[in-house]
Structure 1
Amino acid sequence: MESEYLKYIQDVDSTELYNLMTQYGDDVWRYAYAITKNHEQSKDIAQEVFIKVHLKMSTFRGQSSFKTWLFSITRNIALNEMRSSYFRRMLLFENVRSTQTAQSAEVTYMGNQAAAELREIIMSLSRKLREVLILNLEHDLTIQEMAGLLEISEGTVKSRMNRARKEAQKRWEAAR
């Protein structure tokens, strides 16, 4: 229904854009973060995604869900950013700067330790494994949707998903 409606929109007005950002903004940011592992960069990428949506809505043909289309844009922008030398320098700076930071008392108090550890394990996986796991667990994309988004076969998605789960489980058991 949503894709059917959206594929006929040529231009997105400010109200519609606000509604799309409200509905999908967190998902886009979390997916960008899953790829980049950088909070600030993920915010910038999410903004750029919705600018592209505003400018290029007419290119949405409804062949996939709107969310999958957004994730495709997000992935392309994130991967392009990661290839840029600016991003590599920012990532290096972030790693050097944050070597001695401790978690805030709020995060420690509010956080669920097991969930935080599991999230850390997932984020430590290689990008290819982390990406399929997060698309499945956080965004509920199907194997078919992930295959289309990542431009790989469904068998490759299943293989990566299996490897990601096994690796996460192995690291989880080693941490216990």
Structure 2
Amino acid sequence: MNSQREQWLQEEKLAALKDWMKLYGQDVIQYAYSYVKDYHQAEDIAQDVFLKALTQYDTFRQESSPKTWLMAITANRCKDYIRSWKVKHEEINEQPIQTFSTSENVEREVIERLEKDEIWQMIQRIPLKYREVLVLFYQQERSGQEIAQILQISEASVRTRLHRARSFIKTELEKGGFTDAT
């Protein structure tokens, strides 16, 4: 009897994880990419996030949405990756990667275009603690409360970081000759 219950719970976990991967997989990858700026590494981090979600499923208290929980795991995993020895000692290959246009590469092309965009370049120069709030607020369309939960900071800190990030972008836009910056 007990093994049947355990099997049923395991099947429930796997079903929930499959749903989450389908619903939030691209959001997790995009959010990870905003940290690591490497699409393949962002995919690896997303795999780690969903594996951790599976192993830690019993700790999910459902006080927030599954997406908020997954984004918090993603933020923590990305910060761990950025602090890792591998990143600090990695050789950077300056040669551009050749990509070929196929329907499977559409997302990668969109991300590459965003990198080339001047405003995205400015966002990438913003310190991480401001950039992560911008990405969650504008790209992921998360509320201040959800961002606070994901980053484990107060809502006041979220508002302050958003204000400072916007001020940085406004200043940079004005330096570049864009007078209509908001």
TM superposition score normalised by structure 2:
0.76
Give TM-score, length-normalised by structure 1.
0.79
The 5 Å alignment of 1:6-155 reads: 11-13=12-14, 15-90=15-90, 93-94=91-92, 97-98=93-94, 101=96, 111=113, 116-155=117-156
> CA 1:136–1:63 in 2, change beyond 3 Å: closer, same or farther?
same
Do the aligned partners of residues 67 and 112 (structure 1) sit closer, same or farther apart at CA in structure 2, a change above 3 Å counting? closer
Shift of 1:104: 7.5
- The answer as to 2:129 corresponding to 1:159 is no
Q: Deviations over 1:145-169 (max 9, x none)?
A: 1112212221111111000011012
Q: Structure 2 counterpart of 1:86, which letter? A: K
What SS does the corresponding residue of 2:117 show, helix, strand or coil?
Answer: helix
Structure 1 segments, 4+ long, off by >4 Å, are 102-108, 110-113
Distance 1:136 1:16, change over 3 A: same
User: What CA distance in whole angstroms lies between the structure 2 residues aligned with 1:32 and 1:159?
Assistant: 23
Cα drift, residue 135 of structure 1: 0.4
Equivalents in 2 of 1:31, 1:112: separation in Å? 14
Q: Cα–Cα, structure 1 residues 163 and 41, in superposed 2: closer, same or farther, change >3 Å?
A: same
In 1, Cα distance between the equivalents of 2:17 and 2:100? 36
| Equivalent residue letter for 2:134 | L
* Shift in Å, 1:175: 2.8
Identity %: 35
| Alignment RMSD (CA, Å) | 2.8
Give the number of the structure whose alpha-carbon radius of gyration is greater: 2
Q: Which amino acid aligns with 1:156?
A: S
| CA distance in structure 2 between the partners assigned to 1:60 and 1:74 by the alignment | 15
Aligned length: 160
Instruction: Write the distance in 1 (CA, Å) between the matches of 2:140 and 2:133.
Output: 10
Counterpart position of 2:106: none
More relative contact order, 1 or 2 (CA 8 Å, 6+ apart): 1
The structural deviation recorded for 1:103 is: 9.2
Give the partner amino acid of 1:22. K
5+ residue gaps in structure 2? Answer: 1-8, 102-108, 178-182
